[in-house]
A and B are shown apart, each in its own frame.
Chain A
Amino acid sequence: MDAFVHVLDGFSVSLQPGNLWYTFVGVLMGTVIGVLPGIGPSAAMALLIPFCYDLNATSALIMMAGVYYGAQYGGAITSILINTPGESSSVMTAIDGYQMARKGRAGAALAVSAWGSFIGGTVGIVALTLLAVPLTKAALGFGPAEYFMLMLVALTAVFTLTGTSPAKGMLSTMLGLTIATVGTDLQSGQIRYAFGLPDLQEGIDFIIVVIGMFAIGEVLSALEDKFYKKSDIIRLKGKLMLTREEWRRSAKPIARGSLIGFLVGVLPGAGATIASIMSYSVEKNSSKHPEEFGKGAIEGVAGPETANNGASTGSMVPLLTLGVPGSGSTAVLLGAFIMFGIQPGPLLFQTRPDLVWGLVNSMYVGNVMLLLLNLPLIFIFVRLLYIPTGILLPIVLVLSTIGVFAINNNVLELYLCLFFGIAGYVFRKVDIPLAPLVLAVVLGGIMEQSFRQAMTISSGSLSIFVGSTLTIGLAVIGVGILCFTFYGTLSRRKRIANADDN
């Protein structure tokens, strides 16, 4: 098998001591970046470039790639411990992960994210090795109409995230869509809802919304609890690592998460965040106890954390096969290719197989390193929970500030983050779910633009949305999910009603 030979060749490159060192440096830096809220792998990768001037291209790229997928490991840590997602793709992890921590299962949550990340990443690399070219062809089949249908399907996930009040869920979704419309409208070039501020012209960065609503909102809520002395320090309960029961429950979410993550990641534009949202929704739908979600269901951590690693690996596919970056971080990687004089593009596999396979194989090594790095770190990280809340909460605020400020050096964004923090606090008080808003902010922009692009191409005809097998297939899946969810909710309500009556 051709691929097999390449894989072996690749290992001869990636296992060189120099490259092993660079892999390590990369993944370590990636983990640190992932843990820190706000600043993401793209910034870190760009900052590494000057350090790589004297390196050969393969080593440099191995290091930078390490930062990229390493960040997907670290993001879970602060999500679980202090409800402050380190990366956009760790938002879903925060929802159940933080609740697990409050129940004393922080170690288990951290362990399942480390293992899930490892499995998701490794499965992704295997899939990349074997399926890169055919997947790329399939991914090219996604045009604006198909993306719109995909976003609609993803949006049906909202119905699984609403909790007790569907009306509030819809409100949350609508608010998210509203936030997504702020900025310059891509199609017309018109600036919308920026109130004359150039800082708002590019839209509101998702991570600002997330840090505001999750981190600052949670701190405000926790300070209130502290005021009434309602909370005490959560002691760790039970085994530090995963119990057998928890493993059993996590197995299927991890399997599904790897698949969902990688496939979603291959599509340019849909990234780790969307993958983690879809994984969460699939898990909630597949669970026998969906009411546990939002209160500390381990499936809600296992699935998304696996998916985001699968997705970051998947994003490498269009980069390597077409020279097309699938996300912001892969765009930096692409820039690095060019800085090192490598011409990315469809011929890369032929012109520089040593580079491609060296890089891909370094990812196997990197994932192993990350697992070995993260598991022992759990012991250290859970100790953080023992810091008195009076010190921990202010530190979270400063950490959020650094995170947001480091992105753009923009003080206005800090105030915006605070605004969302207050909003997050209010949402908690009045029981409006956060997850639909988060989902809508991520999807809203792509949905609108894809719809209008498709309409431009079809000259105003709606038939383009049922024009290809993909669109029809996606429509069927979407309707299917809706029926399944409603049926599930209805039958559950009936069961509860019957139980009440008895």
Chain B
Amino acid sequence: MRRDYVIVLCTIALAVGYLYETLQIPSLDTVDPLGPRAYPYLIFAGLIVSAIWLSLETLQKKKAASRSNVPAQETDAEPEGRHGRMLAAVVVWLGLYYAAIVPLGFVVSSFVFLVGLTACFNPGKWVANVLTSFIFVVGFYFLFTSVLGVPLTKGVLDF
């Protein structure tokens, strides 16, 4: 239940931010009678309405749950936090990967990325991890650059 209220708050925050940005749009002499702000105003209204509706729905659910004496069986019974750190680490690792693609080149950065992740999630099977990573990265690199002719960054390697 609490989760849903968090959603409501985030939505309202987003809507306000969106409205602020909308007001920044310069309104010059435009060719159409509505201008670039009209539709965003509607979207703002829509976001607020959905936030209100969601709060109402959540209230209703709460009432219904307490009425029928069903215990709150939300999945927030899950231990929070532990997987959060793991996921955050994955996201950061992805971010580093993206940052490395141009300077280090596609092959090197993808290979390092894959070996890193497979080491964590497929632990112990070093040969399989490294071999698959290598074949996959090199294979796809050639598929894209030679067969499909799509340029991928070279970085430190020069082929």
Q: Are B40 and A391 in contact (CB under 8 A)?
A: no
Q: Which residues of B contact A4 (CB under 8 A)?
A: none
Interface string of B2-27 (1 = CB under 8 A from A): 01101100010010001001100111
Interface string of A394-414 (1 = CB under 8 A from B): 110111011001100101001
A363 to B35, CA, bound (A): 44
B-contacting residues, A28-56, CB 8 Å: 29, 32-33, 39, 43-44, 47
Q: Which residues of A contact B14 (CB under 8 A)?
A: 175, 178
Q: Which residues of B contact A460 (CB under 8 A)?
A: 33
B113 at the interface (CB under 8 A from A): yes
- Interface size range of chain A in the complex: 35 or more
Q: Are A170 and B49 in contact (CB under 8 A)?
A: yes
B148 at the interface (CB under 8 A from A): yes
B104 at the interface (CB under 8 A from A): no
With A190-B28, A418-B98, A432-B7 as contacts: A389 and B18 at CB distance below 8 Å: no
B108 at the interface (CB under 8 A from A): no
Interface string of B99-125 (1 = CB under 8 A from A): 101100010001001100110111101
Q: Tell me the total A-B contact number using a CB cutoff of 8 A.
A: 181
A430 at the interface (CB under 8 A from B): yes
* Stretch of A118-126, A341-349, A368-376, A449-457 on the interface side: A449-457
A185 to B33, CA, bound (A): 14
Q: Are A187 and B36 in contact (CB under 8 A)?
A: yes
Q: Are B33 and A456 in contact (CB under 8 A)?
A: yes
Closest A-chain residue to B123, C-beta based?
A390
A425 at the interface (CB under 8 A from B): yes
Q: Which residues of B contact A236 (CB under 8 A)?
A: none
Q: Could you tell me the distance in whole angstroms from the C-beta of A111 to the nearest C-beta in chain B?
A: 26
Q: Which residues of B contact A389 (CB under 8 A)?
A: 121
Q: Are A220 and B50 in contact (CB under 8 A)?
A: no
Q: Which residues of B contact A430 (CB under 8 A)?
A: 3-4, 6-7
B-contacting residues, A408-446, CB 8 Å: 409, 411, 414-415, 418, 422, 425, 429-430, 432
Could you tell me how many residues of chain B have their Cβ less than 8 Å away from some Cβ of chain A? 72
With A181-B39, A425-B87 as contacts: A406 and B152 at CB distance below 8 Å: yes
Closest A-chain residue to B128, C-beta based?
A391
> Which residue of A188, A226, A429 is within 8 Å of B31 (Cβ)?
A188
Q: Which residues of A contact B39 (CB under 8 A)?
A: 181, 448, 451
New contact pairs (16) apart from A193-B18, A394-B113, CB-CB < 8 Å: A166-B57, A167-B50, A171-B51, A173-B46, A181-B39, A181-B43, A185-B36, A390-B120, A394-B133, A398-B137, A429-B3, A430-B6, A430-B7, A432-B7, A456-B33, A459-B33
Q: Please name the 10 residue pairs, one residue from A and one from B, whose CB atoms are nearest each other, closest first.
A: A390-B122, A390-B121, A394-B117, A167-B53, A171-B50, A167-B54, A170-B50, A185-B36, A188-B30, A414-B98
User: What are 13 A-B residue pairs whose CB atoms fall within 8 Å in the complex?
Assistant: A44-B148, A170-B53, A175-B47, A192-B21, A192-B22, A192-B36, A216-B94, A390-B123, A391-B121, A395-B132, A401-B110, A405-B106, A411-B99
Residue ranges of A at the interface with B (Cβ–Cβ < 8 Å): 29, 32-33, 39, 43-44, 47, 165-168, 170-171, 173-175, 177-178, 181, 185, 187-188, 190, 192-193, 216, 220, 223-224, 226-228, 388-391, 393-395, 397-399, 401-402, 405-406, 409, 411, 414-415, 418, 422, 425, 429-430, 432, 448, 451-453, 455-456, 459-460
